[in-house]
Amino acid sequence: MSISVFFGTLFLKEMKNFPQEDIIKIGDFARHVASSGFFGLPGKNKMSDNVPKNDPNWLYKVKYAQDYNLWHYHIGIPKYNNGNSGHLTSEYVLHYIKGDGYIKIVDMTAHPPMILPKIEYLK
């Protein structure tokens, strides 16, 4: 299954200043998705609308994530940890928009807490 991979304009500008090992991990993720889809990725990958119910901005965050089809992938930065659900997790997650036959990588943030990308990063 071939999936096209794009990068958000702001994220691409910021990524140029990332440590080389982080750029390599992001590139590995992009190449894997482009060639094999989401099957076989080592990190946890999920829709970003699973906001804790006690979050004061719960409804806004859920709607925002659903409206833009935001997902996040545990990229292994700085390293992978064994998660509670059997999936590998990491301190940093890569945010992306999941479309029909494509993804657009738009931001990377520390997690938790989940910080959704600002609207200007979605362009």
pLDDT at 111 over 90: no
Q: In the structure, what pLDDT confidence band is assigned to residue 115 with cuts at 50, 70 and 90? A: very high
The predicted-structure confidence for 74-104, as pLDDT tens digits, reads as follows 999 999 998 777 789 999 999 999 999 999 9
pTM of the predicted protein model = 0.94
Among the four given CATH numbers 3.30.2310.20, 3.40.50.2000, 3.40.50.300, 2.60.40.420, the one describing domain 4-113? 3.30.2310.20
Give the per-residue SS3 of 32-74. Answer: HHHHHCCCCCCECEEECCCCCCCCCCHHHHHHHHHHCCEEEEE
Q: Which two tokens stand for residue 47?
A: 């829709």
The pLDDT tens digits of the residues spanning 12-67 come to 999 999 999 999 999 999 999 999 999 999 999 999 999 999 999 999 999 999 99
